[in-house]
A and B are shown apart, each in its own frame.
Chain A
Amino acid sequence: MSSRDVVLARVRRALADVPRGEGPHDPPVPRDYLRVHGSRTTEETVELLAENLADYRAVVHRCAPGELPALIGRLLAERGARTVVAPTGLDPRWLSAAEVTVLPDRAGDTARELDAVDSVVTGCALAVAETGTLVLDAGPDQGSRRITLVPDHHLCVVRVPGQVVGSVPEALPRLSPERPLTWISGPSATSDIELDRVEGVHGPRTLEVVLLAEEGGS
């Protein structure tokens, strides 16, 4: 008997008390928890996102559609970033005002090469207001998981309000489990030493978020 059979047989024996008629969708799960906590206007939801991001020590900026390239250029310059990795599907206009060398997200590059890069600029799949979370799903404007991991500075653009949801229950149906997902709530942090919070152990130590007002939006 294979171990698979052994384990499954043990499970079945262990569950001899479960009535035969009981199906895999029993017992019932009470789903009367909230889909979203509190009622908010669209603007308030975006405001809450900004607040919660900042509370987790992400640096939050806002801008109108035309202002994005200048803002990105300024933020990269302020950090002294000389090299920036960008996902292949990133809108090229976003980096048009930045005086940096832009490197593509190439699977062939080694992690060590990526480690020498100053910053990464990406979009996102969506953002969750209640938890202050950005979700990346490896879409064309986000690239592979490692480019937002190895460089020390991550600049992430969120289109508001279109990419903002209120809560975790509102986020999951909009995400595909087939894609690799990275949920980011603030920069990398540890509290392992006497529970003092320290930002940045392995992931980017600085997370900057630009809330980009959509065309025609507020």
Chain B
Amino acid sequence: MSRSFLGMPAFPRAADVSTRDTRLRANLTHATRTIRDKRARAVAELDDWAGLRAAGAALKDRTLRHLDRYLEQLEESVVAAGGQVHWAADAAEANRIVTRLVRETGEREVVKVKSMATQEIGLNEALAEAGIRAYETDLAELIVQLGDDLPSHILVPAIHRNRAEIRDIFRREMGKWGRPAPEGLSDSPAELAEAARLHLREKFLTAKVGISGANFMVAETGTLVVVESEGNGRMCLTLPETLISVVGIEKTVPTWQDLEVFLQLLPRSSTAERMNPYTTTWTGTTDGDGPRTFHLVLLDNGRTDTLADTVGRQALRCIRCSACLNVCPVYERAGGHAYGSPYPGPIGAILTPQLRGMAGPLEQSLPYASSLCGACYEVCPVAIDIPEVLVHLRERVVEGGPVTRGGARVVLKPARGHAAERAAMRAAAWAFDHPGALRGGMRLAARTRRLHPRRLPGPGRAWSDTRALPAVPAESFRDWWRRTRGANGNSETGGVE
């Protein structure tokens, strides 16, 4: 458990390696196409989808625009229900808080339900340094953890592994962490799931401390919501004596009633189901049922910086459904690891540079890890205009400009000696070197084109006035390419319209 996303190479280099991995490509193509088709059917069942999507986007905007007020209300409600609330300005602080809370219980082991926030802050590594072992209990996360690997998809973190690899990992590693894999374990999914059940049950039945994230937090009532399929969530949320939930501040929703919108949007967008097998809600603690102690750690770690960007802010609406990954032609080719963060795909391309800032080459290249086809915007259940934010962030990389880091307003310099621009251009060139990725996007582009702005709003306007906006229109992307790379641009790629 030593791997981390930090220090990953920039997108084009990582993608270059992953696209040569044919097994990875085959796994991914199969997986994303399957989910994508199922999702379209699940969404088509609801003839008010557009209305739900508009309500979801508006509810998140309402929360974000008054986040201070809703966070205070949330804190009050959680405390009134018997919970304890902690605030963490950054990853290090969140890790310190959780480590202290676990230490105070006297325990050296914790069970975890899949949580992107804790991956983001590197909690498992921080706990390991303090001598505390964290067991991931989501089947895919278990595969990732046992394989000393990194997750590559929001919903199916081990999407890059096939059944034979999983069997090998189980046979080799399970015994080092607890109950070994059964003798003669085959690679049938049912047997592999059974092996995971037996291995993890040992952990669940003895664990005194559980760590989770949450999909939603209701300000009005102080209720937390976890949506899952396997039941490992229920195990972690109800069996331990102490529950610690680490949740990004943007997961707040105003009222109990608002869940009627998100509990319809999330499962259909995510697993393409009418409803996921299990949803757990809890409000503080309940006598004789579930943990006796409940801690909520509210995590900033770059979220308020993202909030300060009036264009980029919309990324905080994300409900982590993963629909945008499954339609993205670039994700399908590059795989999740190339994005260098727990948030892969189109949402990762706009969230990671905002959460971490745009000083490093990876963060500078991410806004270019897209063909700007617009498919991600079309499927997003909370209508995040990912192409708009990508273009906005590209402007920041190339031109510099005002950004917020650690709560302070700073002016980002244009990429030094155009080094960053070159790094970024390599990502764009990477997309052009993979005409399938590009064309896949462009077919969709024609359908979604009218949904996208031609000019940037606000401070980006001057920039877009003198440049063809590299938003959805596929030709503009090529124009922009020629303009920025001159005669070197390869006009043969794409073959559009």
**Interface positions of A (Cβ within 8 A of B):** 2-4, 6-15, 17-18, 22-34, 37, 52, 56, 107, 110-112, 115, 128, 130-133, 138, 144-146, 149, 168-169, 171-173, 177-196, 198, 200-204
Contact = CB atoms under 8 A, between A and B. Distances in A.
A56 B277 CA distance: 8
A106 to B, nearest CB: 9
Interface stretch (B1-9, B228-236, B461-469): B228-236
A177 B218 CA distance: 9
A37 B249 CA distance: 33
A173 B55 CA distance: 18
A192 B205 contact: no
B166 A18 contact: no
B234 A149 contact: yes
Contacts of A193: 139, 158, 163, 166, 189, 192-193
A195 B156 contact: yes
14 contacts: A6-B89, A34-B47, A112-B205, A145-B234, A168-B263, A177-B256, A177-B281, A179-B283, A181-B280, A183-B279, A189-B229, A192-B140, A194-B27, A201-B139
Nearest to B221: A177
Contact of A173 (B81, B204, B257): B257
Interface stretch (B59-67, B102-110, B330-338, B480-488): B59-67
A169 B263 CA distance: 9
Interface in B10-55: 27, 30-31, 34-35, 45-48, 51-52, 54-55
Contacts, number: 256
Interface pairs A-B: 3 shortest CB-CB: A203-B231, A202-B231, A14-B308
B65 A26 contact: yes
A7 B89 contact: yes
Interface in B241-299: 249, 254, 256-257, 259-261, 263-264, 267, 271, 273-283, 286, 288-290, 298
Given A146-B239, A177-B223, 11 more contacts: A12-B68, A13-B407, A15-B66, A29-B55, A34-B47, A52-B274, A145-B238, A178-B221, A180-B238, A187-B277, A200-B193
A24 B48 contact: no
Contacts of A186: 277
Contacts of A29: 55, 58-59, 62
A88 to B, nearest CB: 11
B300 interface: yes
Interface in B201-246: 201, 204-206, 218, 221, 223, 229-232, 234-235, 238-239
B432 interface: no
B204 A202 contact: yes
Given A3-B93, A24-B66, A15 B231 contact: no
Given A14-B307, A185-B273, A202-B230, A178 B58 contact: no
Contact of A27 (B65, B68, B206): B65
Contact of B189 (A18, A107, A132, A196): A196
Residue of A25, A132, A193 contacting most chain B CB atoms (<10 Å)? A193
A138 B230 contact: no
Given A7-B87, A34-B51, A27 B205 contact: no
A130 B234 contact: no
Nearest to A173: B257
Interface residues of B, number: 99
Contacts of B260: 168-169, 171-172
B200 interface: yes
Contact of A194 (B30, B69, B308): B30
Contacts of A7: 71, 87, 89, 249, 298, 300, 304
A190 B139 contact: yes
Contacts of A168: 260, 263-264, 275
B405 to A, nearest CB: 11
A11 B304 contact: yes
A112 B140 CA distance: 25
B404 interface: yes
B363 interface: no
A145 B210 CA distance: 15
Contacts of A32: 48, 51
B197 A201 contact: yes
A90 B464 CA distance: 67
Contacts of B221: 177-178
Contacts of A177: 218, 221, 223, 256, 281, 283
B125 to A, nearest CB: 21
B244 to A, nearest CB: 16
B231 A149 contact: yes
B97 to A, nearest CB: 9
Contact of B230 (A18, A173, A180, A189): A189
B31 A133 contact: no
B476 interface: no
Contacts of A56: 273-274, 277
B197 A8 contact: no
B274 A191 contact: no
B80 to A, nearest CB: 10
Contact of A3 (B69, B87, B143, B206): B87
B65 A195 contact: no
Contact of B71 (A11, A25, A138, A181): A11
A28 B57 CA distance: 11
Nearest to A207: B277
Contacts of B223: 177
